Structure 1
Amino acid sequence: MNVLNFAHAFFGDSAHWHGYDGIPTRLAEHVKYSLEALLIAAVIGLPVGLVTGHYGRGGNALALIATAGRALPSFGLLVLMFIWIGFGLVPVMIPLVVLAVPPILVTTYEAIRSVDPSPVDAARGLGMSEASVLFRVEVPVALPLLLSGLRTAAVQIVSTATIAAYVSLGGLGRYIIDGLYQRDYAKVVGGAGLVAGLALVTLAVFWSVSRVAVSPGVRRSG
């Protein structure tokens, strides 16, 4: 059987659309893990990137942190956290967050640093506080790049959250792991297809958010 036949066999089986192992349930679990990891990574990466970018300090340190974070293997870190912490969602969240923080952190820093200094200087000349300069001048202009960092992190998380299945949690990775163990390749192909489809949906969501949140003037100048 080829890939298309495997996919047809998986999605055409009504048993895969109901119950605790059904596609809606596994998809909801995968989205839940991904959103939680993205939220935690954003809470860590955005403030640090905004502050360091605004003051223009710490760029080398951020680059070093980003390089170290990207060099860490997600699956190896998952195994280490599982041995150290045990079962649960925490061992899964740690490698996903470690994976997602670097693109958010570095892109946020570069986004703020790329803002034209003229309006920033003018805002300071008008007596605006540093917080107002950051959130009322720099962030609106840098928003497209800020969203691109979040988008990159989100796609990486969605693609990597399949590792949750290795520690007996759910998500779309359950189809891939169970399918390999059972030699049910229709299930493997179906799970991989769902992950790829969810990654594409994630891209579409961020594109839509960008169209709504970014002002037309900023989009045209970009």
Structure 2
Amino acid sequence: MPLEAIVFDLDGVLIDSEPVWEEVRRGYVASRGGRWLPDTQQRLMGMSTVEWAAYIATDLVDGVTAEEVAYTVIDQMSERYQGGPPLLPGAEDAVRRLAAHRPLGLASSSPRALIDLVLGRLGVEGLFRATVSTEEVDAGKPAPDGYLTVAAQLEVRAEDCVAIEDSSNGLRSAHAAGMTVVAIPREAHPPSDDALALAAHVAKDLDELTPELLGGL
């Protein structure tokens, strides 16, 4: 199949934001006397804003609404990013290198406000022809909705796209959409073996992503 477009995830692929998300959400739960469970961070990865806010309000904290959770957490995340998002090594170069080769899309579990803030701060917002937040589709990752929407906005078939992902839910989402998946696992939150097995290629870092590599998949 011809490679028609390349679709990035954001958190854990372009920015090292998962530790920030965990710190902010864990802090929020603790400040309300809630319960942070051993599997909470893994469960939250890939959820849309509606999904993770509802999970925190229902399972971890008493006496708050999902809307209150989302507003407070996103506001705190925006404050943390104001000094510059935690860019991963090689992120900007990888985006610019691949944008010169094929149209780029982005499918992220971050809310729209944070997507726009991060891409603007990096100065690469104009290089993405389509960006989708899972809060803008029916279901977050591991459902394929976000990736399918990006492909539709790019006017290409999902099967003709390569997706760059790091998490278990992200890998499952892109694969369920029919995309060829490249995994860049994060040591702090490695994907499960069964999710990693869905990847056509496992890269050690963003510098490994070249037009030749992706075109050969």
TM-score by length of 1: 0.25
Instruction: Pick the structure with more strand per residue.
Output: 2
Instruction: Pick the structure with more helix per residue.
Output: 1
Higher Cα Rg, which structure: 1
